[in-house]
Amino acid sequence: MTIFSEEQAKAILDKALKASTADECTASLTGGNEGNVRYALNNVSTSGYVSDANLGVHVAFGKRTGTATTNSFDDKSIAAVVRRAEELARLAPENPEFMPAIDKQDYKPSRTYNEKTAGITPDYRAQVAADCIESCRKDKLVAAGFFTDSDEFSALANSKGNFGYQKSSDMNFTCTVRTGDGKGSGWVGRNLADVTKFDAKSDIQTAIRKARESVDAKALEPGKYTVVMEPAATAGLISFMMFGFDARSADEGRSFLSKKGGGNKLGEKMFDERVTIHADPWDEQAAVLPWDQEGLAREKTPIITKGKVDYLHYSRYWAAKQGKKAVGRPGNIIMLGGDKSTMDLVKSTKKGILVTRTWYIRMVDPQTVLLTGLTRDGTFYIENGEIKYPIKNFRFNESPAIMLNNIEEIGKPVRVQGDESPLTMMIPPMKIRDFTFSSLSDAV
Amino acid sequence: MDRRDFLKMTGAGLGGLAIPAFYGRAIAAEELLGTIDVATKKMLADAALNAAKAGGATYCDVRIGRYLRQFVVTREDKVQNVVNTESTGAGIRVIAKGAWGFAATNDLSREGVVKATAEAVAIAKANSRLRSEPVQLAPVKGVGEVAWRTPIVKNAMAVPIKDKVDLLLGVNAEAMKAGANFVNSTLFVVNEQKYFASTDGSYIDQDVHRIWAPMSVTVIDKATGKFRSRAGLSSPRGMGFEYLDAKPADHVELPCGAVVYRDSYDMKADAIAAAKQAKEKLAAPTVKPGKYDLVLDPSHTWLTIHESVGHPLELDRVLGYEANFAGTSFATIDKLKEHFQYGSDKVTIVADKTQPGSLGAVGYDDEGVKTQKWDLIKDGKLVNYQVIRDQAHILGLKASQGCCYADSWSSVQFQRMANVSLQPGRDKLAPAEMVKNVENGIYIVGEGSFSIDQQRYNAQFGGQMFYEIKNGKVTHPIEDVAYQIRTPEFWNSCVAVCDADDYRLGGSFFDGKGQPSQSSAVSHGSSTARFNGVNVINTARSLG
């Protein structure tokens, strides 16, 4: 168990700061326990448990900086890691974009810790696997899934008197269910702050139903379709777009948020006016630490308000250069919506396609954030408000900047975890017109 | 590539502390040259092997690893980050009661290793209750005490940081002088010092080296708001710093005018070319979508091979072990039995863990199997997969092919891709000759955007540079090109592959797979190849 209390963490960080002879010293201490269970072909394949903590020390002599880390916390190791950081700083060239250590920050605690989630046991994990496997075996289906949870802490301090400490916990579950003949595949994912709200036996039924109902999919012609996207289907596109919300790239002219002739599109209306996205470390359902990777305090930040670009991330260097205030980089994105469920959106659809999830999303053209990827594990044709039949998967070539201008209806946001994004997200199901599918995939 | 890990390392705005956790502790440069004494490693390994047997394990392997990594990250005239990391520890894997168990520790005392071994045995016994059948391990004959080292000329870890910084800043200056608005360049150096021991009687000490020097050059037309980037044309390699020595003999000028590189890389020359070509991209006409004959340079083809041949022929994917994340494979075992026509008779694709200079080359894999070379696709027909010891029996094979790898001492080893390469054509054929009879085609150089479905049927690839070919001649650069394929149709449309003189390696430094994700490095070689009638789309859009 590598969880340090606030006092223990502070004592270690103080030792590091005291050991430093550099002009400035910043130290961070993070650690915790991460457990997981992985299963495939209706068998548990691996189960893991990693317990570790790391002390990172970042020092500066003038504009020369060095970083070193250690996972030993005796006095000798702490002194040694500071010395190594100082040695590296002396070897490093001056960084013309050097920024001094951050001033003392005012961190308002957020509810990132849930005792029940932090207390998940190996037995609980095994039971999640068993619940999925047994349900599938019984129905002659094949389960492959992954359940992971963490119990962590994060602490930081610097030579200017800044200090922060907070505990956090998390759980994430995904399971793919395939029919024995490989003709049908369904998926379910659940990312929650509070594990008591998780019910593997109930969730697995979603994947089971989709696996069964997706057998013998028909091929539709590629083209532009009205789509009902489940939250997991757009999370990857929206989080990809967020990489573009960087002020420097926009000002430098190499982002979809750059303006012709120079400058950026901050304040411009670029999306449907029903699109409102903000970041809020204190959000009840999607809380994140109240500081970012650099220790800068996060704030409740409007990102897109009624379709208008309301935020670009200014690094401390770029903020200073542009005369702006630097705030912590958002750790979550919360998209507002209504009360309707995905199935409510299906009911109001005359003709369209229901997309469970999207996969292997990559940038095709950063100029327009054109992304490509594929639908997967449950794609269905909708007619007159009903799911009519399964259809073959499609490849899409679509820009989220275009997609968020083609909104028909927005449902109720749910918490989701993207395959490749560090953000905690609240994303609603959405009905979108003219979504571009460019080719068919035979993959099930 | 695992995009998340790459972004963690190079992403703009990263603070000095933003070292990805899996790279372990950061260390001073002078510590990068040491190794752990072999006798110490053998003592620790024997302690683990004995403890495993005493605990009732029928098999045990121990990996004692010291993983060193160095990154130098620059943009224009600035060094953004210099990081040295080391991660040291031992991973112990056992079979007890017919099931696998694994535990790892960074405590390299005898007691620490014995304790982790006991944990691994206990986990195996606990897991045995959940298994429907016992693990079957293909036999491996112990090799005693042996050693293997990547045949490097210059250990990149020994090159002073100042020389690396000077090189990258020099490259950036050349790009800026040539008209770039922005340039990012990075150097990644990896040294895996791996000691493997098993109850089969092997004690294998390996010293593995890799290097990668990627860059990206961007030009901007302020008036139109248009920007274009051109990535460097280097390959990550299993080589030392000699890869950056820029031998003139390794420059290859293509019929489209672009210069690519064989076994050493002229980063400065490529930076100058990149600035010029990025400007050309700004002005190039947009492609008309439709069917084209594609002439693919090896600097591009490696990624298509990786995604559409390398991954679908991993047996764990075929069987369903990766179904929840990376996916399964269209190339099912019944297709192996019927020798499925994967490609045309011009297509022979081999897996090879021995190829000198490649990212995947090692003497022995991470379960002590001597590495080898074998056919995956022979004259177009599917003939084999990539397997490890506990999978061999499923194909009726008597031995593993040596494809097991773990990205750290603390990760469980599992099946990873070997170097998978398209073999050169048998007939004499140079790219200039190949172009001569292409009527309506596109020449593609460098890797670009890539995406493929979870069974590896439908893929889409971009590139760095695209040139129109009309009536046997390369005419001019074009833009906004991506091609879409269905894997078997694509490989069956291969009508010609250039000869061995044109063979070059590309590769991926960070190939992600598994849950939790592990990263591996793998090379893919080919000669220039022609594919007829491929569907090309136009990727230009307007945001209004």
Domain count, chain A: 2
Q: How do residues A257-273 score in pLDDT, each as one tens digit?
A: 999 999 999 999 999 99
B36 touches chain A (CB under 8 A): no
pLDDT score for B504? 98
Q: How do residues A189-242 score in pLDDT, each as one tens digit?
A: 999 999 999 999 999 999 999 999 999 999 999 999 999 999 999 999 999 999
A307, A375: one domain: yes
Residue B280 has pLDDT above 60, yes or no: yes
A271, A402: one domain: yes
DSSP code string of B230-278? EE-----BS--GGGGG--GGGEEE-TTS-EEESSS--HHHHHHHHHHHH
Distance of alpha carbon B345 from alpha carbon A105, whole angstroms: 67
Considering only the beta carbons, identify the residue of B320, B412, B460 that sits closest to A142.
B320
Q: Which residues of B touch A87 (CB under 8 A)?
A: 28
SS (H, E, C) B103-161: EEECCCCHHHHHHHHHHHHHHHHHHHCCCCCCCCCCCCCCCEEEEEECCCCCCHHHCCH
The residues facing A379 across adjacent strands are A355
Cβ–Cβ below 8 Å for A254 and B324 = no
Considering only the beta carbons, identify the residue of A93, A142, A363 that sits closest to B449.
A363
| Tokens standing for residue B184 | 């990012």
What residue spans of B333-486 are helical by DSSP H? 333-337, 431-436
Among residues B287, B263, B275, which one has the least CA distance to residue B178? Answer: B275
Q: Which of A185, A211, A237 is the last residue of a domain?
A: A211
Residue B11 has pLDDT above 50, yes or no: no
Report yes or no on A1 lying in a domain. Answer: no
> Angle of helix B38-54 relative to helix B110-128, nearest 10 degrees?
40
Q: Which residues of A touch B320 (CB under 8 A)?
A: 40-41, 142, 144, 178
A333, A297: one domain: yes
Total residues found in chain A within this entry:
444
Q: Name the residue ranges covered by the structural domains of chain B.
A: 3-152+192-210, 290-538
Q: Which residues of A touch B182 (CB under 8 A)?
A: 252, 254
Report yes or no on A433 lying in a domain. Answer: yes
Distance of alpha carbon A241 from alpha carbon A236, whole angstroms: 9
Residue B355 has pLDDT above 50, yes or no: yes
Per-residue pLDDT of chain A (444 residues; tens, 9 = 90+): 578 999 999 999 999 999 999 999 999 999 988 888 999 999 888 877 777 788 999 999 999 998 888 878 889 989 988 998 898 888 888 999 999 999 999 999 999 999 999 999 988 998 999 999 999 999 999 999 999 999 999 999 999 999 999 999 999 999 999 999 999 999 999 999 999 999 999 999 999 999 999 999 999 999 999 999 999 999 999 999 999 999 999 999 999 999 999 999 999 999 999 999 999 999 999 999 999 999 999 999 999 999 999 999 999 999 999 999 999 999 999 999 999 999 999 999 999 999 999 999 999 999 999 999 999 999 999 999 999 999 999 999 999 999 999 999 999 999 998 888 889 999 999 999 999 999 999 999
Q: Which residues of A touch B162 (CB under 8 A)?
A: 91, 93
E strand residue ranges, A366-393:
370-383, 386-390
Pairing of strands B529-538, B481-486: antiparallel
Measured between CA atoms, how close is A399 to chain B, in angstroms?
8
Residue among A362, A368, A371, A436 with most chain B CBs within 10 A, to mutate: A362
Distance of alpha carbon A172 from alpha carbon A205, whole angstroms: 17
A185, A260: one domain: no
> How far, CA to CA in Å, does A244 sit from each of A34, A320, B234, B261, B451?
31, 20, 26, 32, 20
Considering only the beta carbons, identify the residue of A67, A129, A148 that sits closest to B19.
A67
pLDDT score for A51? 77
Distance of alpha carbon A398 from alpha carbon B4, whole angstroms: 21
pLDDT score for B31? 59
Q: Which of A211, A232, A256 is the last residue of a domain?
A: A211
Q: How do residues B282-301 score in pLDDT, each as one tens digit?
A: 999 999 999 999 999 999 99
A206, A266: one domain: no
The residues facing B286 across adjacent strands are B479
CA-CA-CA-CA torsion for B514, B516, B522, B526, nearest 10 degrees? 40
pTM for the full predicted model: 0.95
Residue B4 has pLDDT above 50, yes or no: no
Instruction: State the residue range of the domain holding A389.
Output: 217-444
A178, A327: one domain: no
Distance of alpha carbon A396 from alpha carbon A394, whole angstroms: 6
pLDDT score for A419? 81
A277, A207: one domain: no
A263, A248: one domain: yes
A194, A164: one domain: yes
Report yes or no on A244 lying in a domain. Answer: yes
A60, A96: one domain: yes
CATH number where A137 lies: 3.30.2290.10
